[in-house]
Copies of this chain bind each other. A is one copy, B any other.
Amino acid sequence: MDPFRSLLLLSSLFSVAAPHSILQISPGSRRHGDRSAWKGDELYCESWRFSVETNDAGVWKQVPEICVGFVREYMTGERYASDCAMVSNNSMSFAGGVEIAGDGKDAWIFDIDETLLSNLPYYAAHGFGSEVFDENAYNEWANLADAPAIPASLILYNGLKGLGFKLILLTGRTEVQRNATAKNLLLAGYSNWERLILRGIDDVGKPALVYKSHKRAELEGEGYRIHGNSGDQWSDLLGMPVATRSFKLPNPMYYIE
């Protein structure tokens, strides 16, 4: 790449992002342009996705407007399914090497939303993460118990069961959603979990990272060995104690602290 083009690229990238941008050009200048402008958006959105999936982006509230089409294509095309399948395969590769003691304490933790179940039908109807989160509308959707399984996660779930892992579901959903959640899981094909942990009254308002770390600590206190932990949010995975291996599923639609 010649230096000018390189600088232009840097400029256009820095322009869209944030109040503390290093280099500034007007973002509007490339929004309604020709093919190369769209190509620029795609490049930007690929990098935005990188920063989101590596947790470099930190807290973010909505998918950037210029990336809505990108996220839609990613989620509804082959890429999301492919990334999920890769995660499941990585997980199963690791799980196959774990020695199962047979005392019922070899555990694997799963988050639920965007990990076991897909809320894509809801998000497809709500701008793929570009709209402000509407808790009432989302809870109505969740209560329908109609979210499909992520196919690769269902294969992994059953594979881990077959290996003898105890499957513990740890979700940010609250106890009032227990029945709808269990019903949805069963309808989607998940069964025979060891435990379904939802936020109790004391957990409401805690950041997910704090709540989930605390629950993992309790599980270890009960003697569970947490070999694997699968989640689409870094707040599912980070915080002590961590699992032996953590597996980040893709989710470019929303961020939970």
Contacts and interface: CB of A to CB of B under 8 A. Distances in A.
A232 B23 CA distance: 23
A43 B89 contact: no
Interface in A94-109: 94-97
A160 to B, nearest CB: 10
Contacts of A248: 54-56
Contacts of A192: none
A50 B250 contact: yes
A79 B1 CA distance: 11
A23 B6 CA distance: 43
A164 interface: no
A21 B95 CA distance: 11
Nearest to A56: B90
Given A58-B90, A87-B51, A151-B6, A20 B82 contact: no
Contacts of A78: 1, 9, 43
Given A43-B79, A82-B43, A90 B247 contact: no
A58 B91 CA distance: 10
Interface stretch (A11-19, A126-134, A165-173): A11-19
A131 to B, nearest CB: 23
Interface string A80-91: 011101111111
Nearest to A23: B155
B47 A50 contact: no
